[in-house]
Chains A and B, each alone.
Chain A
Amino acid sequence: DTAVSQTPKYLVTQMGNDKSIKCEQNLGHDTMYWYKQDSKKFLKIMFSYNNKELIINETVPNRFSPKSPDKAHLNLHINSLELGDSAVYFCASRGRVGEKLFFGSGTQLSVL
């Protein structure tokens, strides 16, 4: 059973479209994250939710809106997609501060 699963694995879309990426964890963790990995493999934190509450919101365009319907799910909606949004997006979760993060397998977003 996959601990952190995100869908879709690949997403190819046109500029200006709106798209969503979904993430679910079955580890019973309270905290979930979205990271963006660029073409140079740099991993940058975007958002974090703890028990459905937003706790980290980095300098991300407001076209990106996370939503956490419950603590096992954290979805990422992106409006008006731009070329620069092309990247791999990773969802992660962890139980408590001072514990390791568990990552999903990533969603490769390509904006044409």
Chain B
Amino acid sequence: GESVGLHLPTLSVQEGDNSIINCAYSNSASDYFIWYKQESGKGPQFIIDIRSNMDKRQGQRVTVLLNKTVKHLSLQIAATQPGDSAVYFCAENGSGGYQKVTFGIGTKLQVIP
């Protein structure tokens, strides 16, 4: 659970293009997944969530895809804007009344104007 040796992946995208941010999760028993956006100097903010009985969920300009077979989540942002520049985290919640929410390492999204 430490970040020693890890680095923050960066994704650079042209303004107006679509962005895809990927996340691999570790616990096959996790039943609830959340994407967060963290802007500089702020706390993580909720973007969208998905439960394990779904494989796709759409919000405003965002779509989350869940592939339980390979334990993979993705966040798609349509028509990326400069205001989308931030660090994005996926988080997983274990099943069975478990309160622990574990975060992935994050991806920094840079939008090029």
Contacts and interface: CB of A to CB of B under 8 A. Distances in A.
A74 to B, nearest CB: 13
Interface in A23-42: 31, 33, 35, 38, 40-42
Interface stretch (A13-21, A48-56, A63-71): A48-56
B43 A104 contact: yes
Interface string B21-55: 00000000001101010100111111001010000
Q: Indicate the size class of the contact surface on chain A.
A: 20 to 34
A41 B100 contact: no
A42 B105 contact: yes
Contacts of A1: none
B97 A42 contact: no
Interface string B80-108: 00000001010101000111111101101
B38 A41 contact: yes
19 contacts: A35-B103, A40-B3, A40-B8, A41-B3, A41-B87, A42-B6, A43-B44, A48-B99, A55-B99, A58-B1, A90-B44, A97-B32, A97-B97, A100-B34, A101-B46, A101-B91, A103-B44, A105-B41, A106-B41
